[in-house]
Amino acid sequence: MDDIRELKRVLHKENLRYTSQRKAVWDELCSSSDHRDAESIYLALRNSGIRVSRATVYRTIEVLVRHNMVRRLDLGDGRSRYENKLDPKHHDHLICLSCGRIEEFVDPDIEKLQEKVAEKHQFALRKHIHQLFGYCKDCQ
Amino acid sequence: MDDIRELKRVLHKENLRYTSQRKAVWDELCSSSDHRDAESIYLALRNSGIRVSRATVYRTIEVLVRHNMVRRLDLGDGRSRYENKLDPKHHDHLICLSCGRIEEFVDPDIEKLQEKVAEKHQFALRKHIHQLFGYCKDCQ
DNA sequence: GTTTCTATGAGACTCATTCTCATTTAGGGG
DNA sequence: CCCCTAAATGAGAATGAGTCTCATAGAAAC
Ligand SMILES: [Zn+2]
Ligand SMILES: [Zn+2]
Ligand SMILES: [Zn+2]
Ligand SMILES: [Zn+2]
């Protein structure tokens, strides 16, 4: 139901084939705007009867990340999370150290200051990670 | 030659023993203000003839991190880096995507804005990760 | 020196992720 | 449609950072 068109375009561009597994992984990533780990995507697909392997889940995510359709997050716990980037608004994350809840934030001032920092150090900025860790309202 | 006193104090506080291995790991971390991975610390010690195991390197770093003598960095490449915190100035990092060079930066305005963001979301802020990735002057 | 109890080393283990390779399948040409 | 071929897949092996186990070594206290 989601931007299958975009998936097809990207696969076509890289001379990759449109397969049911690739479609299923992308659908699953679009089915919520959550921050999912690879295993949960794999299990969700298996549980809904789709025949797919872990290797394929990882391989597909790789393609999606490469084409900017999915963002990979590293929360420092040894498991990558993924979120779709259909909605192109950039955001960063607040992460609860107790319950794992993830909230998103955007702060244009911080974004601007980052660019200044990079300039000052003569770095050509490509991306950034900005994560605030603490205890959420419910966990304090 | 470095704050061995501080190491002793911390070990004492936790009823842990002052051993040659723990001293060696701490010395190694103090010997430069670099961002080192565990393996490089292990190898440096072995190469200088110190008898120590990987397990002990990891265990010692654990203690040091717990007592705020060392900071753990996660650069998203699957290997933690460590830097001593003798110098208590907080800083964040610029990382070159090509050569791996790491530069440090501090921006009080960003720090303040982060706190505001946390407040707005009713998070009790404990720590943050702020990393700017790009290409350094030499790699552009 | 003896006792006691923690620290250490070697290597087994974990767990997310990647790799291998035999088999299946997409997609283009007939 | 059917064939062909290269690409995709699945199962399970491999990898690699980090952790755990347990027999032995070594601090610290007496
Ligand atoms: Zn919480
Ligand atoms: Zn997000
Ligand atoms: Zn560089
Ligand atoms: Zn640093």
Quick: pLDDT tens for A52-69. Answer: 999 999 999 999 999 999
Question: Is B106 in CB contact (< 8 Å) with chain A?
Answer: no
Please report residues of A whose CB lies closer than 8 A to that of B109: 109, 113
* Smallest CA–CA distance from A97 into chain B, residue: B126
Going by their DSSP bridges, the two strands B36-37 and B70-74 should be labelled as unpaired
Distance A54 CA to D12 C1' (A): 11
> Residue B3: its pLDDT value, please?
83
Per-residue pLDDT tens for A105-127?
A: 999 999 999 999 999 999 999 99
- Asked whether the beta carbons of residue A133 and residue B125 sit closer than 8 angstroms, the reply is yes
Q: In b/e form, how buried is each residue of B71-87, taking b as 16+ CB within 10 angstroms?
A: bebbbbeeebbbbbbee
- Measured between alpha carbons, how far is B32 from B137 in angstroms, rounded to an integer? 23
- Predicted confidence (pLDDT) at residue A87 exceeds the cutoff of 80: no
* A17 phi and psi angles, rounded to 5 deg: -90, 150
Which band of pLDDT confidence, cut at 50, 70 and 90, is reported for residue A1? low
Q: Identify whether the C-beta of residue A41 lies closer than 8 Å to the C-beta of residue A57.
A: yes
Determine which of B129, B131, B136, B140 to mutate to test the interface with A (most A C-beta atoms within 10 Å). B129
Q: What structural domains and CATH numbers belong to chain B?
A: 2-84 (1.10.10.10), 92-134 (3.30.1490.190)
- Predicted confidence (pLDDT) at residue B105 exceeds the cutoff of 60: yes
* Partner B, chain A 8-37, Cβ-Cβ below 8 Å: none
- Asked whether the beta carbons of residue B123 and residue A136 sit closer than 8 angstroms, the reply is yes
Q: What percent of chain A has pLDDT over 70?
A: 99
Q: Which nucleotide is nearest to A81 (CA to C1')?
A: C16
How much is the mean pLDDT over chain B? 94
- Asked whether the beta carbons of residue B125 and residue A132 sit closer than 8 angstroms, the reply is yes
- Residue nearest the C1' of C18 (CA based): A55
Question: What pTM was estimated for this model as a whole?
Answer: 0.90
> Residue A2: its pLDDT value, please?
63
For residues B20-45, give the mean pLDDT. Answer: 95
